[in-house]
Amino acid sequence: MATTKMATTRWLHAQQRQGPEAAPSGEAWGSHGSARCGRAIRAALIIQNWYRGYRARLKARQRYALTIFQSIEYADEQGQLQLSNFFSFMLENYVHIQEKDPTLVNRLFGCAPQDDRGRQECIGIIEVPESYSGPRLQFPLNTNSLTIMIEAFKKQQILHAYYVLEILFETKEAMKQMPNFTHIRTCPTKEITICGDLHGKLEDLLLIFSKNGLPSGYNPYVFNGDFVDRGKYSIEILMILFVSFLLFGDDLCLNRGNHEDFLMNMRYGFTKEVLSKYKIHGKKILQVLEEVFAWLPLGTIIDDEILIMHGGISESTDLNLLHHIERNKMKSVLMPPVPMDKDSGTETKKNKGHVPRGVKLSGSPSDYLTKHEWEQVIDILWSDPRGKRGCYPNTCRGGGCYFGPDVTSKFLNKNRLKLLIRSHECKPEGYEICHDGKVITVFSASNYYEEGSNRGAYIKVGFCTTLRFFQYQVTKATCLRPLHQRVNTIESSAIRILKERMVSRKTDLIRSFQLQDRTKSGKISMGQWAFSMENILGLNLPWRTLSSHLVLTDDDGNIDYMTCFHDIHIQKPVKEATLIETLYRYRSDLQIIFNVIDSDHSGLISMEEFHSMWKLFCSHYNLHIGDSQVDELAERMDLNKDGSIDFNEFLKAFYVIHQLDNLSRSNTQLA
């Protein structure tokens, strides 16, 4: 029966393209009935074929939208790491800061002034007012506390700073007792659930709990880093995770991710979230958090066979060493270590720290990690697996490396392990297996870039290393929107941010186009256009496929390159075009620098400080901005002419206008 049907189908395929009406001879397929029936089958085939083609094209669009998001994200991370160069450079030259604010120097070089502020001192003065309607927790905590908190968070309530701080201090003390790697075991009655990046997406965490149950002694979990940043509920996720950790100890393992890092948090939203939810006590919370993050364990090992770490490995990853380093000295990946170690025989790389002359550091050399140790930690938090053999610097992100299947095999064999589970990269299906089944990526933030961009997943590990995979996707509506709508959304979102990138490099792009436009016709070939785009923007994207969204092509296939910028421009508070672009391009960096200088989080820095900082910034990044322009800029930024600058206000002036937007933006801005 099956064979007959198959033969029939093959025959029908041949006929398919003639359309359903082309009459086949009735005898041709034996026992299958009338011509009418044959036509129906043929019709069905046509529809199916068409639909599959359509669907494939949608999937392709979804894929490249994701690629856009991802490459921009990594380019951002690279920018972030390069910022650490700037800090070193800045401190070397910024005499002003050194004299005025030695704590800043220490802050940037990884040795926070010994914060002996006692816990009592910190929390004791905080009172929870009667009017507080959020959850109230009892200490010592119990499982009830967890449920109360979760219910409250579902209702969008905010936990009072008093409880937050209590929980953070408790967590810090408990984590100090933990080794760098937590060793846990499966048993026949318990599966261990492993979750990847959450990035502040509370809905995903709640979805996981509803599908898989709350954590408990019978339902152990491992959370593999990146709990915060980007999403809007990072602090709530931390509270849930920390309370669970305090309640269930080894049954709730937390690994550090590259975003558990206070400098990353400044750029990617967590700092902002805390300061806005906790206007009075936010600073304190951030300070304690810095330490809690530094005390997070580096990884988890199940049954001495499965290693779980956030990023990956490099060819030099030394598990033994990692077991023994003092992990809390790694404050931030962006703070290079002071090379006081003896084994730095080789030349220090440009960005790996050198103590500026004249800087007095408090604390002794033993307060810092050695350069080698620091690199080891960067590798495990930032690396990505790739198909290519060997180990290469991760140029996309700027930190860690790309490691190939050979590196994995060697590492696993050497350490007698069977599997590496990691996170760190968004995958369309929520998880991905590579390197011959030896490396699995698990990512738990669905719709990470945009609604509909990807699924989330978690893995359940059972006795004898059996693995089960579960996927999900958070949806706002009760039913999933049709595929084409979802793809349209993420595609237009991706194109939007890509265009913002383009406009931030407008001058350079135009120069590059013009160089290739020998005849000055305003047009260049597709190949030339793609070359310029890739070169200047530094993004490895399928430019030819994207060209239809970005630029106009004429009938000969040539590109009218100025149309790149037709429907987008930056609002101008200052006249000079290059300056605007530069400020726009570096606005995240500037924001971070500013936040670091403004160590008391007052929101203001002095004109002088800004002036010197900006000049340094330009010289380090090789920007050619004349002195008078900087002066004009400084004056502009001093909104109320009192000699101080509210930097955040100023930065708000730089937003990109998409002409196709219907939103009208008011022309507030500078006097």
The minimum distance between CB 431 and another protein, in angstroms, equals 16
The minimum distance between CB 260 and another protein, in angstroms, equals 34
- Residue among 7, 23, 47, 95 that touches another protein (CB under 8 A): 47
- Residue among 48, 142, 466, 471 that touches another protein (CB under 8 A): 48
Give the nearer residue to another protein in terms of CB position, either 30 or 129.
30
Other beta carbons less than 10 A from residue 172's beta carbon: 19
Give the nearer residue to another protein in terms of CB position, either 174 or 434.
434
Assess whether 32 carries a catalytic annotation: no
User: At CA 338, angle to CA 335 and CA 342, rounded to 5?
Assistant: 140
H helix intervals, 483-576: 483-504, 506-516, 526-537, 543-550
Of 38-46, 105-113, 175-183, 631-639: span binding another protein (CB under 8 A):
38-46
DSSP H or E segment with residue 247? helix 234-248
Supply the angle between the helices 483-504 and 35-93 in degrees, to the nearest 10.
30
- Residue among 23, 28, 55, 567 that touches another protein (CB under 8 A): 55
Alpha carbon distance 330, 377 (integer Å): 8
Give the nearer residue to another protein in terms of CB position, either 211 or 484.
484
Per CB under 8 A, contacts with another protein among 416-435 are none
Alpha carbon distance 125, 117 (integer Å): 13
Give the nearer residue to another protein in terms of CB position, either 44 or 187.
44
Catalytic residue among 160, 259, 310, 424: 259
- Compute how many residues bind another protein; rule: CB under 8 A: 37
Alpha carbon distance 366, 561 (integer Å): 56
Under the binding rule (CB under 8 A), the answer on residue 45 touching another protein is yes
- Residue among 136, 190, 372, 481 that touches another protein (CB under 8 A): 481
- Residue among 15, 16, 93, 415 that touches another protein (CB under 8 A): 16
Q: Which residues pair with 402 in a beta bridge?
A: 384, 392
Residue among 5, 27, 25 nearest 15 (CA): 25
Alpha carbon distance 148, 146 (integer Å): 6
- Residue among 24, 26, 41, 565 that touches another protein (CB under 8 A): 41
- Residue among 7, 19, 115, 392 that touches another protein (CB under 8 A): 19
The minimum distance between CB 68 and another protein, in angstroms, equals 16
The minimum distance between CB 545 and another protein, in angstroms, equals 9
Give the tokens for residue 47: 């529809």
Of 9-17, 216-224, 341-349, 577-585: span binding another protein (CB under 8 A):
9-17
Other beta carbons less than 10 A from residue 20's beta carbon: 17
Give the nearer residue to another protein in terms of CB position, either 127 or 436.
436
Under the binding rule (CB under 8 A), the answer on residue 626 touching another protein is no
Under the binding rule (CB under 8 A), the answer on residue 566 touching another protein is no
The alpha carbon dihedral of 605, 610, 616, 619 has a sign of positive
Determine whether 67 is exposed, middle or buried from the number of CB atoms within 10 Å of its CB (0-12, 13-18, 19+): middle
Residue among 343, 336, 423 nearest 377 (CA): 336
Under the binding rule (CB under 8 A), the answer on residue 483 touching another protein is yes
- Residue among 28, 59, 429, 655 that touches another protein (CB under 8 A): 59
Per CB under 8 A, contacts with another protein among 485-514 are 488
Give the nearer residue to another protein in terms of CB position, either 11 or 209.
11
The minimum distance between CB 567 and another protein, in angstroms, equals 19
The minimum distance between CB 46 and another protein, in angstroms, equals 4
Of 47-55, 348-356, 367-375, 592-600: span binding another protein (CB under 8 A):
47-55
The minimum distance between CB 3 and another protein, in angstroms, equals 14
Give the tokens for residue 613: 């900082």
Alpha carbon distance 58, 614 (integer Å): 46
Give the nearer residue to another protein in terms of CB position, either 93 or 488.
488
Under the binding rule (CB under 8 A), the answer on residue 9 touching another protein is yes
Give the nearer residue to another protein in terms of CB position, either 59 or 410.
59
Under the binding rule (CB under 8 A), the answer on residue 467 touching another protein is no
- Residue among 4, 35, 57, 534 that touches another protein (CB under 8 A): 57
Residue among 249, 190, 186, 242 nearest 219 (CA): 190
Of 19-27, 280-288, 290-298, 580-588: span binding another protein (CB under 8 A):
19-27
What number of CA atoms fall less than 13 Å from residue 537's CA on the CB side? 28
Give the nearer residue to another protein in terms of CB position, either 57 or 232.
57
Residue 96 near residue 609, CB atoms below 8 Å: yes
Of 42-50, 154-162, 180-188, 221-229: span binding another protein (CB under 8 A):
42-50
Under the binding rule (CB under 8 A), the answer on residue 437 touching another protein is no
Give the tokens for residue 128: 């929870």
Alpha carbon distance 55, 51 (integer Å): 6
Measured between its terminal Cα atoms, the distance across the chain in Å is 83
- Residue among 1, 2, 21, 33 that touches another protein (CB under 8 A): 21
Give the nearer residue to another protein in terms of CB position, either 60 or 577.
60
The long-range contacts involving 210-218, CB below 8 angstroms and separated by at least 24 positions, are: 211/470, 211/472, 212/458, 212/460, 212/470, 214/146, 214/147, 214/150, 214/244, 215/244, 215/247, 215/248, 215/251, 215/252, 216/143, 216/248, 216/251, 217/248, 217/251, 218/189, 218/190
Under the binding rule (CB under 8 A), the answer on residue 577 touching another protein is no
Of 18-26, 189-197, 345-353, 526-534: span binding another protein (CB under 8 A):
18-26
Give the tokens for residue 664: 């009208």
Q: Which residues pair with 63 in a beta bridge?
A: none
DSSP H or E segment with residue 593? helix 587-597
**CA separation, residue 440 to residues 311, 426, 443, 488 (Å):** 11, 12, 10, 30
Under the binding rule (CB under 8 A), the answer on residue 17 touching another protein is yes
Under the binding rule (CB under 8 A), the answer on residue 480 touching another protein is yes
Under the binding rule (CB under 8 A), the answer on residue 321 touching another protein is no
What number of CA atoms fall less than 13 Å from residue 310's CA on the CB side? 26
Helices and strands per DSSP (H, E), number in the chain: 24, 21
The minimum distance between CB 469 and another protein, in angstroms, equals 16
Of 50-58, 350-358, 411-419, 554-562: span binding another protein (CB under 8 A):
50-58
Write the CB contacts of 434 (distance below 8 Å, at least 6 apart in sequence).
Answer: 385, 387, 405, 440, 441
Under the binding rule (CB under 8 A), the answer on residue 10 touching another protein is yes
Give the nearer residue to another protein in terms of CB position, either 187 or 480.
480
Give the nearer residue to another protein in terms of CB position, either 360 or 476.
476
Write the CB contacts of 328 (distance below 8 Å, at least 6 apart in sequence).
Answer: 176, 291, 294, 295
Interface with another protein by CB under 8 A: which residues? 9-10, 12-13, 16-17, 19-21, 39-57, 59-60, 479-484, 488
Positions marked active-site: 259
